[in-house]
Structure 1
Amino acid sequence: MSDMKPKSVLVTGANGYIGNAVARAFVRAGWITYGLVRNQETRESLRANEITSILGSAGDKAFVERSANQTKFVFNVIVSCTEQLFDYVSHYNDTVALLRALAEASNKVGIRPLVIFSSGCKDYGTTGLDGSEDLAPHTEESPLNGPLVLLPRAAHAPKIFEHADLFDAVVVRPTTLYGLSGSFYGPIFDVAAKAADKGVLELTADPKSIMHGTHVDDCAEAYVAIAEADRSVVKGQCYNISGRRYETLEEVANALVEDYKIKGGAVYSPEKQKTGVVDVVQFLIGFSQWVGSEKLRRDVGWRDKRQLFSEAVHTYRKAYEAAVAQNHGNVQKIQSFVRMADAVQEPDT
C-alpha cells in the first residue's frame, strides 16, 4: 500500500462557473481540495461536493496578511479562477498579493506551489471564417490582439511569471465554455427561445463564423492534467484549452432551430456587425475564432470527451433551463454582465 501523502489544491472563486468545475475535478482526481469563497451562503454547496471551504477574498487585506503567517492550510497547487473584466488591473494586483501570501506560507513548510492562472482565448482576437483563405488557428505563440475590454487581461496575465521567487506558474486560456449553467452559451438559449415565439432566429453574424467552445467539465480536467504533469514540463508555459474541433454558427443555429422548432429557420445579417451597435450576445456569436490546443494535448495528454455543443444541444438546453429555474448564481452573473456590457455600448442621450 502506498504511504504517499495526498496533494492539496486551493481554487479561488470555487463557487464560480469555472472555479466550481475545477474544484470538483480535483476532488474526483483524489486531491484534498479547498475552495476560497467570499460569501458565507455559498459554503454549504462546496461541502456537499466534498470541497473544504475557506472564507476570504483577494480584496480583503487582513485576510491576505493572515494567509502569509498561517501554516494550517498549505497547498501544492493554487488555481486562480476569478477576474473582474471592468476593473481588471486592481483585481489582478489583489490576486497576486494573495497568491504570494499563500505561497509564502507553503514555502515555510518546504512546498513550492504551482499557480495555474486563468486567462482566456479571446485575448488573441478573431481568426477568419470557416473556409476562408489562409485560415489558421490561434496558438500560444499568436499575438494578443483581443477586444479593447480584454487588453488589460492580455497584458497582465503573463506577468504572473514574474513571481518565480515564491511559486511556479502556468497561464491557461480556455475558449468560451458551455454546459451545466451555461456561461456565455446560456444567453444563446435565451435568444433561441425568443426566436421560437417570433418564428425566426435572427443572427447578426456570418453563418461561417467559427464557434470554438469547450465543455466546462473538459476544461476543468485540463487544469487537473496540468497539475499532475511533470512540473519541469509545464512551469512557465501558457496553454490554450479548446475542444477537439470547432463548430460553425450554421451548425449551432441549425441545431437550435431543430430543438426549438423555429419554423422560419435562421436568417443571417452579418453586415449589422459593422454598421451599428450590436448586443453583446450577438457579438459573441459572431466572434469567429479557431483555437489550437495541440500543445496542451502533447505536454499533458489531455483529451476532451464531452459532446460538442451542436451535438447535444437539447441536453445542454435542459441543463441551462434547470439552472435558470433554480435561480443559479452563475446564471445571474452572466445576465448581469450582459446587461452591463450592453449598457456600455448604448450611445449617450
Structure 2
Amino acid sequence: MKVLIIGASGFIGLPVAQAFVRAGHIVYGQTRSEDKAKQLAAQEIIPIVCGPTDVNKYMSLIPTLDAIVDAMGGTDVKVAGEALLSTVAIAASALRHPTAQNLAYIYTSGTWVHGENRKDVVSDTTPVTNPTELTAWRPAQEQRVVANHHVNGIVIRPSLLYGRGGSLLAPLFRRAHEGRVTWHGEPGGRLAVVHCDDLAEVYVLAAERAAVAGGRIFDASNDVNESTDAFLQRLVEVSGAQGPYEYQKPTNLFEATLNTTTILRPYLARALLGWRPRKASLIDHLDIYYNAWKASEGLL
C-alpha cells in the first residue's frame, strides 16, 4: 500500500508511520519541520514538508494512495480536521480513476468522547451522549468521516497514551522528577490507556482491512482500565518523589478532561481486525516507561 500520514512526526503519527514501514508499505509523512523531515527520512518515511492542510503539496499522491491517516495534533485540530477531510474528499472524487477503490481515510478522535462515567461500562458501539466539554465537537466530525461518500472513512479513538516520551503524561513525570506527584481531579478514578506502539498497530490493520473497517468507529484501549490512585502511588515509588501523591483542582478544560474516568471495554478492533494489545500495562512497567521519558529528556 501507499500511505500518507498527516502529522507524521507527532506522538501518534510517528509510531503509526513506523508501523506501516515495518509492515512493508510505502509511507509518506507530512511534517512542518525540515529537521523533522530528516528524522522521518532516516526511518524510511518519505517526508513532505508543509502545513497539514496544504493539500497542494501532496495532491499528486491522491490518485494512487491507498490510505490517508489524520494524526494531527495542536490547538487547531477542529478546524484543520474539517478542512482536511473536505479537501481530500473533493480531490479524491476528482482525481481518482473510476476503477480505483475509495481512498481509506483514517481519522484520529479519542475515547474522551464517551465522557466521565464511573458507573457504566461502555464500548465502541455505545452511543456518545455526554462527551467531555473539551471534545464535544469530535462526535460530529467522526460522523462526517464515516458518512463521506468520496472516501472510505474510518475513525480510531485512542485512549490515554503511554510509552516512549510520555505524551500527555510527560508533565506529570516532570513534576515527579522534581519531587512531587500531583494530578488534577478527584480520587477514585480509572484510566483507559493504550501504549503508543499497540495503538499504531490498529491503524495498520484498519488500513489493510479497509474493506471491513470502512464506516466503523474503533475504540483503541487496553482490556483493563487502571486505577488512577494506584498509578499515582506507583509513580511516587518509581520516581522517588516525596509522598503522598496529591490531587489538585483543575484550572482549565484540558486538566479536567485528563482525569476522565471511562470504564471502557472495546471489542470491534479485536473482533474485526484481530488486534491485540501486547505491551505491559501502565502500572506494571511504569519504571520502564518513566525511565524512557527521562531518557527522552536527557535526564538519565
- TM-score, normalised via structure 1 length: 0.77
After superposition, give the CA deviation of every residue in 1:35-54 in whole Å (9 maximum; x if it has no partner). 12222221111111111112
Does the aligned pair in 2 maintain the 1:75–1:106 contact within 8 Å? Answer: no
Out of 62, 65, 74, the position equivalent to 2:64 is 74
Determine whether 1:176 maps to 2:165.
no
Out of 170, 184, 187, the position equivalent to 2:171 is 187
Percent identity, aligned pairs only?
24
Determine whether 1:13 maps to 2:7.
yes
Segments of 5+ residues of structure 2 without an aligned counterpart are none
Tell me the equivalent position of 2:233.
Answer: 254
Determine whether 1:125 maps to 2:115.
yes
Does the aligned pair in 1 maintain the 2:147–2:153 contact within 8 Å? Answer: no
Inter-partner Cα distance in structure 2 for 1:15 and 1:75: 20
Out of 215, 222, 246, the position equivalent to 2:202 is 222
How far the C-alpha of 1:217 sits from its partner, in A, is 0.6
Structure 2 SS opposite 1:293: coil
Q: Please list, as runs of the form range in 1=range in 2, the aligned pairs for 1:1-349 lying within 5 A after superposition.
A: 7-60=1-54, 62-63=56-57, 67=59, 70=60, 74-85=64-75, 87-100=76-89, 103-104=92-93, 105-107=95-97, 110-128=100-118, 134-164=119-149, 166-194=150-178, 196=179, 201-229=181-209, 231-268=210-247, 273=249, 277-278=250-251, 283-284=256-257, 286-325=259-298
Does the aligned pair in 1 maintain the 2:28–2:48 contact within 8 Å? Answer: yes
Inter-partner Cα distance in structure 2 for 1:191 and 1:280: 20
How far the C-alpha of 1:95 sits from its partner, in A, is 0.8
Does the aligned pair in 2 maintain the 1:144–1:154 contact within 8 Å? Answer: no
How far the C-alpha of 1:121 sits from its partner, in A, is 0.8
Inter-partner Cα distance in structure 2 for 1:117 and 1:236: 11
Q: Which moved more, 1:8-17 or 1:282-291?
A: 282-291
**CA, structure 1 residues 25+62, in 2 after alignment: closer, same or farther (shift >3 Å)?**
closer
How far the C-alpha of 1:116 sits from its partner, in A, is 0.9
**CA, structure 1 residues 107+35, in 2 after alignment: closer, same or farther (shift >3 Å)?**
farther
Structure 2 SS opposite 1:310: coil
Which structure's CA Rg is the greater one?
1
How far the C-alpha of 1:178 sits from its partner, in A, is 0.9
Does the aligned pair in 2 maintain the 1:78–1:116 contact within 8 Å? Answer: yes
After superposition, give the CA deviation of every residue in 1:59-109 in whole Å (9 maximum; x if it has no partner). 336437xx1xx3687211111111544x44421232124422553434467
**CA, structure 1 residues 266+84, in 2 after alignment: closer, same or farther (shift >3 Å)?**
closer
- TM-score, normalised via structure 2 length: 0.89
Inter-partner Cα distance in structure 1 for 2:235 and 2:192: 16
Q: Which moved more, 1:238-247 or 1:34-43?
A: 34-43
Inter-partner Cα distance in structure 2 for 1:17 and 1:159: 25
How far the C-alpha of 1:204 sits from its partner, in A, is 4.9
How far the C-alpha of 1:156 sits from its partner, in A, is 1.8
Q: How many residues align?
A: 298
Higher strand proportion (structure 1 or 2)? 2
Does the aligned pair in 2 maintain the 1:76–1:114 contact within 8 Å? Answer: yes
How far the C-alpha of 1:317 sits from its partner, in A, is 1.2
Q: Which moved more, 1:205-214 or 1:40-49?
A: 205-214
How far the C-alpha of 1:291 sits from its partner, in A, is 2.1
Structure 2 counterpart of 1:13, one-letter code: G
After superposition, give the CA deviation of every residue in 1:278-308 in whole Å (9 maximum; x if it has no partner). 3677535532122222111111110000111
After superposition, give the CA deviation of every residue in 1:214-272 in whole Å (9 maximum; x if it has no partner). 0001000011111222x44211111100012111012211211211223533345xxx6
Does the aligned pair in 2 maintain the 1:186–1:320 contact within 8 Å? Answer: yes
Structure 1 counterpart of 2:37, one-letter code: R
Structure 2 SS opposite 1:290: strand
Does the aligned pair in 1 maintain the 2:146–2:214 contact within 8 Å? Answer: no
Structure 1 SS opposite 2:68: strand
Consecutive aligned runs of 4 or more in structure 1 exceeding 4 Å deviation = 279-282
Inter-partner Cα distance in structure 1 for 2:7 and 2:182: 35
Tell me the equivalent position of 1:339.
Answer: none
After superposition, give the CA deviation of every residue in 1:20-39 in whole Å (9 maximum; x if it has no partner). 11000001111111112222
Inter-partner Cα distance in structure 1 for 2:238 and 2:253: 23
Inter-partner Cα distance in structure 2 for 1:51 and 1:288: 36
Inter-partner Cα distance in structure 1 for 2:70 and 2:269: 18
Inter-partner Cα distance in structure 2 for 1:53 and 1:111: 25
